[in-house]
Amino acid sequence: MPTTLENWNPGKAEDRHPEATYEEKERLFLEVKSDLRYEDFLYGCYECGICVSACPSARFYDFSPRVIAQAMAREDVERIYDILTEDIWNCAQCFSCVRCPRQNNPGGLVTILREVSIKNGLQESKDALQGYSRVIYKVMLKGNQVSPDMLQPDFFPDWGPWVKNFSENMHVWRKAIPMDTIRGITDVAWRVERKTLLELYTIWFESGNMDIIKELDEGLYDLLADVMQEELEEG
């Protein structure tokens, strides 16, 4: 049955996500609130909607940076849990919303909410990042987010025949680039020294980043940790 004004019944806030207790929802919000960036990202909210008018995600999803700023400013624990589980992965992280006259940073609040969601292993985050693990693997291991060999017709069918043409010619095209750091390289964007990668792995372990990966995807963690630890021991 379509939702109409007559039959619309949002229900009680606390019934929307009965899988988590109020205490659990409050704990998650307090984790967000204790982030060192929180105080700089939220000063209150005029409800003016300037952020919404600039927000790309608000045009294509049921998503509003104003609602996020409002809920956070009111410390509405139930609503914040809705946002945490339903909204945050729709944000494009463009930061157009920092036009806010109150000097809020709703996109930055989303970044913190996402971090908390990942650290606490929320299923919604795992779902949102399905298919994304190979990118995390690449960036953490190789020090580059993207590489030419990712451009395969199966992954980018909507980019047209160019991708097929590219993948057939990738090796020779890559040799036809004048920069020494790029020429001939296909599995990373540019040549990164081994010493540099060992330093990067040390950062991932020391900063607690590997614990975050463990919470997100244990299989991915095992893959990464095996290679990194072996390399670090050898190095």
80 binds ligand SF4 (CB under 6 A): no
Q: Which of residues 6-65 bind another protein (CB under 8 A)?
A: 26, 29-30, 33-40, 54, 56-57, 59-61
Contact between 221 and another protein per CB under 8 A: no
Q: What are phi and psi of 156, to 5 degrees?
A: -125, 55
d(CA 103, CA 52): 14
End-to-end CA distance of the chain: 63
Residue number with CB closer to another protein (93 or 226): 93
Of the pair 9, 90, the CB lying nearest another protein is at 90
CB 7, min distance to another protein, A: 30
d(CA 54, CA 107): 12
Structure tokens at 212: 């975050």
Answer for which of 28, 69, 84, 118 binds another protein (CB under 8 A) is: 118
Q: How far is CA 128 from CA 19, 79, 93, in A?
A: 19, 20, 15
Q: Which is nearer to another protein, 16 or 27 (CB)?
A: 27
Choosing from 45, 114, 122, 228, the residue that interacts with another protein (CB under 8 A) is 114
Among 123, 168, 184, 235, binds another protein (CB under 8 A): 184
Candidate list 28, 32, 45, 185; residue touching ligand SF4; CB under 6 A: 45
Which of 112, 88, 93 minimizes the C-alpha distance to 34? 112
Return the DSSP state at 164: H
